[in-house]
Amino acid sequence: MMISLTIDGRPIEVEEGATILEAAKVANVHIPTLCYLPEVQAIGACRVCLVEIEGNRTLQAACVSPVAKGQVIHTNTDRVRKARRFSVEMLLSNHPFECLSCAKNLHCELQSLAYDLGIREIRFTGAKSGGRIDESSPSIRRDQNKCILCRRCVTVCQEIQSVTALFTQGRGFDARVEPAFDRDINDVACTNCGQCSIVCPVGAITEKEYIDDVWEAINDPTKFVVVQDAPAVRAALGEEFGYPPGTLVTGKMLAAARKLGFDRVFDTNFAADLTILEEGTELLKRVKEGGVLPMITSCSPGWIKFIEHFYPELLDHLSTCKSPHMMLGALTKTYFAKKAGVDPKDIVVVSVMPCTAKKFECNRPEMYDSGYKDVDYVLTTREFAKMIKQAGIDFENLPDENYDDPMGEYTGAATIFGATGGVMEAALRTAYEVATGRILENVEFTAVRGLEGIKEAMVPVEGLGDVRVAVSHGLGNARKLLDRIKNGEANYHFIEIMACPGGCVGGGGQPIPVTNEIRILRAQALYNEDAHLKYRKSHDNPSIKKIYEEFLGQPLGERSHHLLHTHYTPRSKF
Amino acid sequence: MSEEKQCQCAEIQEEELYPRLEEVINQHKGKGEDLIMVLHKAQNLFGYLPRRAQEMVAEGLNVSLNEVYGVITFYNFFSTVPQGRNSVKVCLGTACYVRGSQEVLDKAQKELGIKVGGTTEDRRYSLDVVRCIGACGLAPAMLVNEDVYGRVKSPHLVDILKKYE
Ligand code: SF4
Ligand code: SF4
Ligand code: SF4
Ligand code: FES
Ligand code: FES
């Protein structure tokens, strides 16, 4: 039922049950918020979104107050402005003012609120809460001194990711966001997905930065520094430079990488195509030889850590394929090193990823198959943008450039890896042709696209019968799927699981904010690119054919097994 | 005070309580919404919530340990340290505070080697603070179990504590 009310003198109609905040949006009225997180959390905690309702003595928090018929709401009275400002002043009273050196400087919601609300002096100074800095994780850094207890991280970690690595501990002045027993985040069951770092409005949770290490490698004349970037990066990096979400900036990104001083730019997409050949062959083998099914994808390291902690008994279901950037790292220090005549000990591989979990992944002891650390550093999309800014590069006016050989060529199948369902679609394109020996005419498997939490499809493949597949994104959905497997309710052959909602386009290292609307736009950019590429099936990639001829032999062959596959470690759920 | 040989009986008794906790948990298997109720029962069983009990509750109710601990630290009722045989409470109410009870408290923490809210390893003493026990005329005041002590000076403290085994 629609009900009518007035906001700032403007009569509007909204659905009953809507909040005042939602109604204001309809009326094009901006109400500032802080603890509110669209699609995830409305708890009315911070009191920044206060509004005045005629006939009501107290101000109401717009994010949690439902509209009522005939309400007359004011969002911009003197009283409202003062109250909002007071709420923010209270938050600032125990805040460390480190904006100039804070990782969130200019991207901080608290900072911009203080500015927007006209706070020009700090009227209240209370005791500082004395939180700690937790740098234990290779993926995320937590500075509890800056935490404003908005709980956004807790809600995302619990409700979207079903991990609950963080929780509000204690209360009152003692309240803090920590794991149990105030342990370090690296010592508990955290997946390193970084979703908390996306939603934290301040600098209390950020990615662990490796920018300085990368600069150092670039500046070292004895090092040969190779950079690679994942598909989701090119669909989002532009946002850091003012482009609308969904703008592909591949060419400029590569030009920027060269200007930064990288010696080669390879494409993680190349390795994504390789993954399809390895993983597709593995799947066909398991189906034919009665191996463990359903087989589950392994390219999302947040997901890998999740299953290691929470479902170690299902580890056999994982494909043994490394994630694409790890494959590319191992190949750079073997195949490429030899080809280019560079000593692998002098090569430094930097991966630019939409992901914080890959920072942990590249430090796993299993990831030294080239004889060296296969990938030396992982930077997030956000960190890469920071480097470009530090170098003073005029991003907008860069020419478009291309990837370097021999690991720069890619197909449309690889580029859609960045969106949920993309790996599945890419795998189906190849598996179909390999299994049937026939050309697949319609390569678009739209049933596995989009933001539905769990997607299912059935693909008839001659000689194999109906191949049943499922796709999920966000670890909460992964948990649901795994429970189905455990209870024997799932008879899929193949499952794609991505840790982050929306897949890598919504990864924990991507530009902030990330909403469903933005996830869709970024994914669309990748699907558009796929539609326009000459090659859309991984096995058609000429450079892939070449690397098998020159170096790898065949999928699942001995070299592949050694360099491109891995194993997993059961971990405690505490 | 800490040289004494530690008595192990507390731990032995505790060991026998875990099967009973298991029974309680089984009645609420997988029901995260019963968390507070189950923790309450566990606390009554053990007198506090040992880490192992927290882990069992987390596992059994299918709730993250980090959330379990969050709930425990939110409610004053729950305690993560065992209670000592003797409870020492120093009053920090206004009257006592102005007459130097903070000094008494500092001394108690130092003597016992624990912080407020803690229990000595031998479980002989637990230390807490209270706000006014109605003995303001005797400030600074403290309580050991049911016994009220007034005009406590920190040098007396050790003698008082010694009386309680
Ligand atoms: S969190 Fe925000 S307000 Fe706090 S120091 Fe960092 S930039 Fe400044
Ligand atoms: S990185 Fe992911 S799993 Fe770890 S605390 Fe953040 S949201 Fe939770
Ligand atoms: S760490 Fe960040 S997101 Fe989490 S409660 Fe603190 S301010 Fe909010
Ligand atoms: S945004 Fe509404 S109370 Fe925080
Ligand atoms: S203030 Fe200590 S007894 Fe009243």
Distance CA A400, CA A515 (A): 28
B147-149 sheet: strands from edge to edge: B125-130, B86-91, B142-144, B147-149
Determine the Cα–Cα distance for residues A270 and A230; give it in Å rounded to an integer.
10
Q: How far is CA A31 from CA A26, A68, A516, in A?
A: 12, 18, 20
Same-domain check for residues B67 and B97: no
- Verify that B70 and B93 share a domain, yes or no: no
A156 lines ligand 2 (CB under 6 A): yes
Name the nearest CA neighbour of A418 among A406, A430, A410.
A410
Nearest CA to ligand 2 atom 8: A157
pLDDT of residue A167: 97
Beta bridge partners, A264, equal A226
Residues B65 and B9 in one domain: yes
Residues of B in contact with A574 (CB under 8 A): 55, 58, 65
> Residue B123 is part of a domain; what is its CATH number?
3.40.30.10
Distance from CA of A381 to the nearest CA of B (A): 30
Whole-complex ipTM: 0.85
B45 & B111 share domain: no
Which helix (H) or strand (E) covers residue A353, if one does? strand A347-353
A30, HSE (Cβ side, Cα atoms, 13 Å):
5
Domain annotation covers residue B105: yes
Verify whether the Cβ–Cβ distance B66 to A171 is below 8 Å. no
Lowest mean pLDDT among A282-291, B5-14, B88-97: B5-14
User: What are the residue ranges of helices labelled H in A290-417?
Assistant: 301-310, 324-331, 337-340, 357-361, 381-390, 412-415
CA distance A502 to A419: 6
Interface contacts (A, B; CB < 8 Å): 45
Same domain, B141 and B90: yes
The pLDDT tens digits along chain A (574 residues) read 899 999 999 999 999 999 999 999 999 999 999 999 998 999 999 999 999 999 999 999 999 999 999 999 999 999 999 999 999 999 999 899 899 999 999 999 999 999 999 998 888 887 776 789 999 999 999 999 999 999 999 999 999 999 999 999 998 888 999 999 999 999 999 999 999 999 999 999 999 999 999 999 999 999 999 999 999 999 999 999 999 999 999 999 999 999 999 999 999 999 999 999 999 999 999 998 999 999 999 999 999 999 999 999 999 999 999 999 999 999 999 999 999 999 999 999 999 999 999 999 999 999 999 999 999 999 999 999 999 999 999 999 999 999 999 999 999 999 999 999 999 999 999 999 999 999 999 999 999 999 999 999 999 998 888 999 999 999 999 999 999 999 999 899 999 999 999 999 999 999 999 999 999 999 999 999 999 999 999 999 999 999 999 999 999 999 999 999 999 999 999 9
Please tell me whether residues B90 and B153 are part of one structural domain: yes
Which ligand gives the minimal distance to the CA of A34? Answer: 4
Three-state DSSP class for residue A387: helix
Structure-token pair, residue A328: 């590319």
Confidence of residue B2 (pLDDT cuts 50, 70, 90): very low
- Is B66 within a domain? yes
Residues A511 and A381: beta-carbon distance below 8 Å = yes
Whether residues B90 and B158 fall in one domain:
yes
Q: What's residue B7's pLDDT?
A: 54
How far lies A521's CA from each of A154, A235, A236, B4, in Å?
27, 9, 9, 70
What DSSP character marks residue A317? G
Give the domain range for residue B150: 86-162
A110 Cβ closer than 6 Å to some ligand 1 atom: yes
In chain B, what is the greatest distance between 2 CA atoms, to the nearest angstrom?
A: 53
Query: Does residue B116 share a domain with residue B60?
Result: no
- Please indicate, yes or no, whether the overall pTM of this predicted structure exceeds 0.80: yes
AA identity, residue A75? T
Provide the residue count of chain A.
574
Confidence at residue B4, expressed as pLDDT on a 0 to 100 scale: 47
Residue of A nearest to B56 (CA): A574
Cα dihedral across residues B140, B143, B144, B146: positive or negative: positive
Residue B59 counted as domain residue: yes
Strand pairing class (A465-473; A454-461): antiparallel
Q: Are residues B62 and B122 in the same domain?
A: no
Q: State how far the Cα of A469 lies from the Cα of A283, in Å rounded to an integer.
A: 12
pLDDT at B123 > cutoff 80: yes
Domain end residue (candidates: B49, B74, B99): B74
Q: Do B62 and B90 reside in the same domain of the chain?
A: no
Give domain status of residue B80, yes or no: no
- For the stretch B21-68, pLDDT in tens is 999 999 999 999 999 999 999 999 998 999 999 999 999 999 999 999
Q: Which of B74, B98, B123 is where one domain is finished?
A: B74
Q: Are B149 and B143 in contact (CB under 8 A)?
A: yes
Residue whose token pair is 């430079």: A241
A319 carries an active-site annotation: yes
B155 in the same domain as B94: yes
Number of domains in chain B: 2
List of residues 6+ apart from A296 with CB closer than 8 A? A307, A317, A318, A319, A494, A495, A496, A497
Residue with tokens 């009315």: A44
- Among chain A, residues having any CB pair with chain B shorter than 8 Å are 158, 163-171, 174, 178-181, 188-189, 573-574
Give the end-to-end CA distance of chain B in Å, rounded to a whole number.
11
Among B74, B101, B125, which residue terminates a domain?
B74
Residue A307 CA, distance from chain mean position: 17
Domain assignment of residue B79, yes or no? no
Residue A203 has, within 13 A of its CA and on its CB side, a CA count of 21
Q: Chain A within 8 Å of B164 (Cβ-Cβ)?
A: no
Nearest residue to A269 via CA among A228, A297, A298: A228
Residues near A183 by beta carbon (within 8 Å), at least 6 away in sequence = none
User: Is B81 inside any structural domain?
Assistant: no
Question: For this structure, is A89 an active site residue?
Answer: no
**Same domain for B119 and B151:** yes
* pLDDT score at B8: 58
Quick one: tokens of A421? Answer: 């369902």
**Are the beta carbons of A464 and A443 closer than 8 angstroms?**
no
Identity at A74, one-letter amino acid code: H
Residue type, A465: G
Return the pLDDT at B3.
45
Is A100 exposed, middle or buried, given 0-12, 13-18 or 19+ CB atoms closer than 10 A? exposed
Helices (H), A400-556: 412-415, 422-436, 475-486, 516-532, 542-547
* CB-based contact A50:A80 (threshold 8 Å): yes
Are A246 and A511 in contact by the 8 Å Cβ rule? The answer is no
